[in-house]
Amino acid sequence: MRLHHLSATAFGPFAGTVEVDFDDLSDAGLFLLSGPTGAGKTSVLDAVCFALYGDVPGDRNTARRLRSDQAEPAVAPEVTLEATLSGRRFRLVRSPAWERPKKRGAGTTSEQSRVALFERVGGEWRHLSGRLDETGHLMTRLVGMNVTQFTQVAMLPQGRFQTFLRARSEERHAVLQQLFRTGRFADVERWLRDRRVELRRACDAAHQGVADLVSRVSEAAVTPLPPDWDVRDLTEPAAEGLLSSWAADLLREAREATAAAAAEAVDATADESDVRRRVEDARATHERLARH
């Protein structure tokens, strides 16, 4: 946000019209608002806030306090601000609600708050809106802060610094997060948190799969589980080494048993062949005896 020009009429302590050329002041990079108490330093900032949001910070946000008591009765209070917001140049003209003298007869009549929003396009000012709510929403979106956040960050009112410091953590977090646009870090934090949950679930599922497999191996091998073994300890190197050693022993025993069974199968095959040969010889002898 860059301020260019401010004009205030019958606003705050200014009975007439005052103008502030921020472009001229900003040539040096920084400028200071100074003056004795009551000179209107805060009112300049109030005028900027009022032009943007239609409100001022602190206890000065009542309509009857915005209009200067020293202004002529028929002079309408009005603030005009030219500013660049999100790369677009705008002019805001606002007037608070006030009591003006009746045109006929005695007494006063109420004038409602009004606003006119213009944007400079192609060297011309184009009217965008005359609605209070629409202009307020647009300013909040362009500035990136609502009126409460703006008054807490951009122009902290006098005596309210402790209020900001003593605000709840959630409130200060929301203000600072929007001010410094830390939403991307919150997105990364959220992704890491979701990723951690996802990996935890995958790890638990893998642990359960290992536990089921170990149980089936134990049942098939008719071998008890390793002593002092727990599936929750799989992340520990000692537990992993214990399970690997147990599986290696089972594999070695299975291979030895397989080799012994294979040898027994060879011997059994040879015995079967010898028995078959004897049976054939006995059958032939039986047939010869039967013929004899």
Q: What is the mean pLDDT of residues 262-286?
A: 91
What local confidence, expressed as pLDDT, does residue 70 receive? 85
Q: Please state, in angstroms and rounded to a whole number, the distance separating the CA atoms of residues 108 and 115.
A: 22
Same domain, 18 and 119: yes
Beta carbons within 10 angstroms of residue 146's beta carbon: 17
Indicate whether this model's pTM tops 0.75: no
The tally of domains found in the chain comes to 2
Same domain, 18 and 155: yes
CA distances from 180 to 127, 150, 175, 189 (A): 31, 13, 9, 16
Same domain, 151 and 212: no
Same domain, 196 and 146: no
> How would residue 91 be classed by pLDDT, with cut points 50, 70 and 90?
very high
Same domain, 207 and 76: no
What local confidence, expressed as pLDDT, does residue 42 receive? 82
pLDDT in tens, 99-147: 888 888 788 888 888 999 999 998 899 999 999 999 999 999 988 888 8
Same domain, 88 and 198: no
Give 112: exposed, middle or buried? Use CB within 10 Å, 0-12, 13-18, 19+.
exposed
Same domain, 118 and 13: yes
Q: Contact 51/81 with Cβ under 8 angstroms?
A: yes
CA angle, residues 15, 19, 20, in degrees to nearest 5? 130
Same domain, 234 and 120: no
Q: Which domain holds residue 94?
A: 2-100+109-159
Of residues 106 and 230, more confidence is placed in: 106
Q: At what angle do helices 132-143 and 41-53 cross, to 10 degrees?
A: 110
- The mean-pLDDT minimum among 64-68, 93-97, 188-192, 220-224 falls in 64-68
Give me the CATH number covering residue 31. Answer: 3.40.50.300
> How would residue 63 be classed by pLDDT, with cut points 50, 70 and 90?
very low
Largest CA-CA distance found in the chain, in angstroms, rounded: 160
The amino acid at residue 180 is F
pLDDT in tens, 9-27: 999 888 889 999 988 888 8
CA angle, residues 27, 32, 38, in degrees to nearest 5? 140
Give 211: exposed, middle or buried? Use CB within 10 Å, 0-12, 13-18, 19+.
middle
Give 111: exposed, middle or buried? Use CB within 10 Å, 0-12, 13-18, 19+.
middle
pLDDT above 70 covers what percent of the chain?
A: 86
Q: Please state, in angstroms and rounded to a whole number, the distance separating the CA atoms of residues 200 and 193.
A: 11
DSSP bridge pairs for 20: 6
Q: Contact 108/136 with Cβ under 8 angstroms?
A: no
Structure tokens at 121: 């396009």
Per the prediction, the chain carries an average pLDDT of: 83
Q: Please state, in angstroms and rounded to a whole number, the distance separating the CA atoms of residues 133 and 81.
A: 18
Q: What is the mean pLDDT of residues 47-76?
A: 79
Residue ranges in 35-180 assigned as alpha helix (H):
41-53, 63-66, 132-143, 147-153, 161-165, 169-179
Same domain, 211 and 136: no
Q: What is the mean pLDDT of residues 266-292?
A: 91
